[in-house]
Chains A and B, each alone.
Chain A
Amino acid sequence: GENVEQHPSTLSVQEGDSAVIKCTYSDSASNYFPWYKQELGKGPQLIIDIRSNVGEKKDQRIAVTLNKTAKHFSLHITETQPEDSAVYFCAASKNSNYQLIWGAGTKLIIKP
C-alpha cells in the first residue's frame, strides 16, 4: 500500500526566512497531495493541495511543488511569520481509494 514519509520532523527558522517541508510517496498511482496545518489544540485544516497534472501551485506565501518522476512533493512557506508556527502534515490519495495516507508531521517553529 501507499507509504508517505515526511521530513524534517522539526524545523526551526528565523522569522522572515523561508521554510521547506518535504514528503515522498511510494504509490505511483497517487494523484492528489494535500497539506494540512494543525494549530495548537485544534484539528488539522487543509491549507493547499496539488493534483498530479500540475507541477506547482501558489497561494500567497505558500506554495507546493510536485515531482512525479521522483515521487516527492514539498511545501514552501516564504516570509515566515509567528502565526506560521504549527504542525504541518502532508498526505496522498488516489482515485481508486479516496483514503488519505498521512505523513508523520513536521513541527515548524518560527523564532522571533
Chain B
Amino acid sequence: NAGVTQTPKFQVLKTGQSMTLQCAQDMNHNSMYWYRQDPGMGLRLIYYSASEGTTDKGEVPNGYNVSRLNKREFSLRLESAAPSQTSVYFCASTEYQRGGGTEAFFGQGTRLTVV
C-alpha cells in the first residue's frame, strides 16, 4: 500500500517549457487535490477533483490545468512555465471519516524550479 505517489520529485524547467506532474493513489479515495507550498504561505489549493470525472478550480488555478484520468490518477500540467511557478507541489487524496471529518493523505512533493 503505497498511499499517494508523486512523480517527479525534483524538476528544473526553463521559462516557457511545459511539463506534467503525475499523482496516483491506491486507497480508492474519491477526492484528489493539487496544492502548492511557498515559504511562509502554507498550502494553497490549485485544483481539486471531488470525484472521477469532475475538476474544479481552487485558490490559485492560473497557469495550470488538471486531468482526472481515472479514480486513481490526477495530473497537473504547466503549459508554459513561469518563474512565479517555482514552488513545492503536493498532491493529496481525502477520505471521509465515519463520525464526520476528512483525512488528507499527501504525496512526498515535487520541488519545481523554473529558471
Contact = CB atoms under 8 A, between A and B. Distances in A.
Interface residues of B, number: 22
A48 to B, nearest CB: 11
B42 interface: yes
B102 A98 contact: yes
Interface of B, helix, strand, loop or mixed by DSSP: strand
- Interface hub of B43, B45, B108 (most chain A Cβ within 10 A): B43
Nearest to B106: A43
A51 B41 contact: no
Contacts of A80: none
A98 B40 contact: no
Contact of A43 (B42, B99, B108): B108
A99 to B, nearest CB: 7
Given A34-B101, A51-B101, A104-B40, A98 B109 contact: no
A2 to B, nearest CB: 12
Given A43-B92, A104-B41, A36 B102 contact: no
A34 B101 CA distance: 8
30 contacts: A9-B40, A31-B100, A32-B100, A34-B103, A36-B104, A41-B108, A42-B108, A43-B4, A43-B107, A43-B108, A43-B109, A44-B43, A44-B90, A44-B106, A46-B103, A46-B104, A49-B101, A49-B103, A51-B99, A51-B100, A89-B43, A91-B104, A93-B101, A99-B45, A99-B48, A99-B102, A100-B102, A100-B104, A103-B42, A104-B41
